[in-house]
Amino acid sequence: MAHDKRYVAQKRQRRRRKAAKSKVKAFEAGKFAFDKLPKLAKELHHRKVKAAKRTA
Protein backbone atom coordinates (compact mmCIF):
# COMPACT_ATOMS: atom_id res chain seq x y z
CA MET A 1 0.00 0.00 0.00
CA ALA A 2 2.74 2.46 0.92
CA HIS A 3 4.53 1.75 -2.37
CA ASP A 4 1.36 2.56 -4.32
CA LYS A 5 0.91 5.88 -2.50
CA ARG A 6 4.53 6.81 -3.05
CA TYR A 7 4.28 5.91 -6.75
CA VAL A 8 1.18 8.04 -7.24
CA ALA A 9 2.81 10.99 -5.43
CA GLN A 10 5.96 10.57 -7.55
CA LYS A 11 3.86 10.59 -10.72
CA ARG A 12 2.10 13.78 -9.63
CA GLN A 13 5.42 15.49 -8.85
CA ARG A 14 6.87 14.39 -12.19
CA ARG A 15 3.88 15.92 -14.00
CA ARG A 16 4.33 19.20 -12.10
CA ARG A 17 8.07 19.28 -12.89
CA LYS A 18 7.45 18.55 -16.57
CA ALA A 19 4.87 21.34 -16.82
CA ALA A 20 7.23 23.74 -15.04
CA LYS A 21 10.09 22.86 -17.38
CA SER A 22 7.93 23.62 -20.41
CA LYS A 23 6.95 26.97 -18.85
CA VAL A 24 10.66 27.77 -18.39
CA LYS A 25 11.27 26.98 -22.07
CA ALA A 26 8.37 29.25 -23.04
CA PHE A 27 9.79 32.00 -20.80
CA GLU A 28 13.20 31.68 -22.46
CA ALA A 29 11.53 31.90 -25.87
CA GLY A 30 9.90 35.16 -24.77
CA LYS A 31 6.32 33.88 -24.55
CA PHE A 32 6.03 34.30 -20.77
CA ALA A 33 6.81 37.10 -18.36
CA PHE A 34 8.95 36.07 -15.38
CA ASP A 35 6.38 37.27 -12.86
CA LYS A 36 3.73 35.06 -14.52
CA LEU A 37 5.77 31.88 -14.01
CA PRO A 38 4.71 29.49 -11.24
CA LYS A 39 7.01 29.18 -8.23
CA LEU A 40 8.45 25.81 -9.28
CA ALA A 41 9.29 27.14 -12.75
CA LYS A 42 11.06 30.14 -11.20
CA GLU A 43 13.12 27.82 -9.02
CA LEU A 44 14.04 25.63 -12.00
CA HIS A 45 15.07 28.68 -14.01
CA HIS A 46 17.17 29.98 -11.11
CA ARG A 47 18.94 26.61 -10.84
CA LYS A 48 19.52 26.54 -14.60
CA VAL A 49 21.08 30.04 -14.60
CA LYS A 50 23.17 29.22 -11.53
CA ALA A 51 24.51 26.03 -13.17
CA ALA A 52 25.31 27.92 -16.37
CA LYS A 53 27.28 30.52 -14.41
CA ARG A 54 29.22 27.77 -12.66
CA THR A 55 30.30 26.10 -15.90
CA ALA A 56 31.14 29.30 -17.76
- The per-residue pLDDT for range 6-28, each reduced to its tens digit, is 999 999 999 999 999 999 999 99
Nearest Cα neighbor of 41 from 17, 10, 15 is: 17
- Whether the predicted pLDDT of 46 surpasses 90: yes
Amino acid at site 29: A
Residue 1 binned pLDDT confidence (cut-offs 50, 70, 90): confident
Residue 11: other Cβ atoms inside 10 A: 10
Phi-psi region at 30: left, alpha or beta (left = phi > 0; alpha = psi -120 to 50):
left
pTM (global) more than 0.75: yes
Query: Mean of the per-residue pLDDT values for the chain?
Result: 94
Q: Which residues contact 28 (CB under 8 A, 6 or more apart)?
A: 45
- The per-residue pLDDT for range 29-41, each reduced to its tens digit, is 999 899 999 999 9
